[in-house]
């Protein structure tokens, strides 16, 4: 299983200013597998300690002297820990959050030792009143589900990925290759980006086994709800969790979850799921400037689910639904495609940056509009639409251009790529001319590179 995050870990290993690294991400997105794969490629030895399974080991980290901690670890595990050749990996660190404080001493007094920590419910540990994060002495890597191009690499399709990486804006894709990529996209919509589901499918070629894995993942997340029960009622979390696949991509309204529940209670439950990285809020931004997050309206947001494959299962879809559809954009009214694009855009920046994504809406009487997503690339604000067909309705995009004057826009659909200069007449009679980069859904991994190239060529 290939992960682009390996490149980030290699840069971290070689950095002269390296700090202990904390990998953050939802349960089962592959944090432990990633570290093991990294250690196998880059270190002679790995000392892996699972603090959820062996919480008593935390006692060895009570000293403020990292040399003493290392001596105790050597005694406990009968090994020699040599900085530079061994990776110390503290897995499920949220189970014993007091271990966090010892990381600062490794940074200050033993910078030569490579230390990585990971956990699935870190945000809950970070919120504990007694907890103190060693700010400035650690760094983060945010890991999401496997991306489509990582899926292709894991399936042995390196040539297809190289082909995508070398395409220029608007360059044509031969029809047989386009069709092949669309077929892989349909498969990915069902497997999703959860590593275990992909691994089982690639090994067995069995949809039944893949679906069984995803069902187990659903149960794993539901079992986690008992860990939140001090904060939120278990049944309320379960209700919301089951509704999220159906509501993903829509403007979120608590009344659509359950009319019998108070909005404040559902809001607390949703925040818990976002903390656990089971869901992500996509806030409305006025897009008046950079950063986009500076002008959000916290009361207006959409919600993305953790993964498109889990969403497919949660909405009762399977591969036959995609095969029968004339255009995958039409499956589930396009919500699956919007989820797919959204989960990729969330993690399209450097992985040390917190995942974030925004959308834009205009609510004027007789002139409402909504742009699916908005991202910032350097100082440019770029609107992104996920639309069916070669033309689709671009009314919202036109209004965004009228108000915000971005350098270009992006549209995702199931057609071949193109770079167009479009003209339209706005409701006020004004003529609008703008550039539109139209991309097939499977090129979302290249969208930031292509946007940069388009802006440079302007």
Which pLDDT score, from 0 to 100, does residue 68 have?
Answer: 95
Banded pLDDT at 309 (limits 50, 70, 90):
very high
Calculate the average pLDDT of the chain: 91
Which pLDDT score, from 0 to 100, does residue 135 have?
Answer: 65
Which pLDDT score, from 0 to 100, does residue 123 have?
Answer: 65
| pLDDT value at 304 more than 80 | yes
Which pLDDT score, from 0 to 100, does residue 119 have?
Answer: 84
| pLDDT value at 314 more than 60 | yes
> For 374-386, how does the pLDDT look when each residue is reduced to its tens digit (9 = 90+)?
999 989 999 999 9
Quick check: 277 and 182 in contact, CB under 8 A? no
Banded pLDDT at 84 (limits 50, 70, 90):
very high
| pLDDT value at 442 more than 90 | yes
Least confident of 76-80, 178-182, 275-279, 309-313: 275-279
> For 170-227, how does the pLDDT look when each residue is reduced to its tens digit (9 = 90+)?
899 999 999 999 999 999 999 999 999 999 999 999 999 999 999 999 998 888 777 6
| pLDDT value at 131 more than 70 | no
pLDDT > 90: percent of the chain: 72
Which pLDDT score, from 0 to 100, does residue 422 have?
Answer: 85
Which pLDDT score, from 0 to 100, does residue 12 have?
Answer: 97
Nearest to 37, CA basis, from 73, 11, 5: 5
| pLDDT value at 29 more than 70 | yes
Which pLDDT score, from 0 to 100, does residue 98 have?
Answer: 82
Which pLDDT score, from 0 to 100, does residue 154 have?
Answer: 96
| pLDDT value at 391 more than 60 | no
> For 236-264, how does the pLDDT look when each residue is reduced to its tens digit (9 = 90+)?
888 999 999 999 888 999 999 999 899 99
| pLDDT value at 132 more than 70 | no
Which pLDDT score, from 0 to 100, does residue 173 have?
Answer: 96
CATH code of the domain made up of 5-142: 3.40.50.300
Quick check: 384 and 396 in contact, CB under 8 A? no
Residue 75, CB-side half-sphere exposure with 13 Å CA sphere: 8
Which pLDDT score, from 0 to 100, does residue 136 have?
Answer: 74
Mean pLDDT of 425-453: 90
pLDDT > 70: percent of the chain: 93
**Rounded distance between C-alpha atoms, residue 215 and residue 218, angstroms:** 5
Task: Name the more confident of 367 and 417.
Answer: 417
| pLDDT value at 124 more than 70 | no
Write down the domain spans for the chain.
Answer: 5-142, 149-457
Quick check: 406 and 381 in contact, CB under 8 A? yes
Mean pLDDT of 85-101: 90
């Amino acid at each position: 299983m290939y992960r682009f995050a390996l490149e980030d870990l290699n840069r971290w290993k070689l950095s002269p200013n390296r700090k202990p690294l904390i990998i953050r991400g939802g349960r089962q997105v592959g944090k432990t597998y990633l570290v093991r794969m990294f250690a196998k490629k880059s270190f002679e030895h790995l000392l892996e300690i699972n603090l959820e399974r062996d919480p008593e080991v935390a006692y060895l980290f009570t000293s403020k002297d990292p040399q003493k901690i290392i001596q105790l670890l050597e005694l406990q595990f009968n090994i020699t820990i040599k900085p530079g050749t061994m990776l110390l990996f503290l897995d499920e660190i949220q189970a014993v959050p007091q271990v966090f404080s010892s990381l600062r001493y490794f940074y200050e007094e033993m910078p030569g030792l490579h230390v990585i920590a990971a956990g699935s419910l870190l945000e809950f540990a970070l919120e504990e009143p007694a907890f103190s994060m060693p700010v400035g002495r650690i760094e983060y890597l945010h890991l999401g589900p496997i991306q489509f191009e990582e899926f292709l690499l894991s399936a042995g399709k390196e040539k297809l990925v190289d082909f995508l990486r070398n395409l220029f804006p608007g360059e044509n894709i031969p029809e047989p290759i386009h069709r092949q990529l669309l077929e892989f996209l349909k498969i990915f919509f069902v497997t999703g980006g959860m590593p275990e589901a992909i691994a089982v499918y690639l090994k067995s070629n069995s949809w039944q086994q893949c679906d069984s894995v995803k069902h187990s993942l659903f149960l794993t997340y539901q079992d986690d709800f008992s860990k939140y029960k001090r904060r939120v009622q278990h049944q309320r979390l379960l209700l919301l969790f089951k509704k999220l696949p159906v509501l993903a991509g829509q403007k979120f309204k608590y009344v659509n979850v359950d009319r019998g529940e108070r909005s404040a209670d559902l809001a607390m439950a949703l925040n818990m799921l976002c903390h656990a990285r089971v869901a992500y809020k996509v806030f409305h931004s006025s897009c008046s400037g950079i950063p986009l997050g500076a002008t959000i309206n916290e009361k207006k947001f959409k919600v993305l689910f953790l993964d498109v494959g889990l969403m497919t299962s949660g909405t009762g879809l399977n591969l036959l639904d995609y095969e029968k559809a004339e255009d995958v954009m039409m499956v589930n009214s396009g919500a699956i495609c919007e989820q797919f694009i959204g989960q990729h855009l969330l993690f399209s920046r450097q992985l040390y940056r917190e995942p974030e994504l925004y959308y834009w809406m205009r609510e004027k009487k007789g002139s409402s509009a909504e742009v699916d997503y908005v991202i910032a690339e350097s100082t440019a604000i770029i609107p992104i639409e996920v639309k069916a067909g070669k033309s689709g309705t671009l009314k919202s995009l036109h209004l965004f251009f009228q108000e915000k004057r971005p350098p270009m826009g992006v549209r995702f659909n199931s057609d071949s790529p193109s770079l167009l200069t479009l003209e339209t007449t706005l409701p006020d009679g004004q003529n609008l001319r703008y550039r539109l980069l139209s991309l097939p859904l499977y090129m979302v991994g290249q969208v930031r590179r292509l946007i940069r190239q388009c802006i440079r060529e302007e």
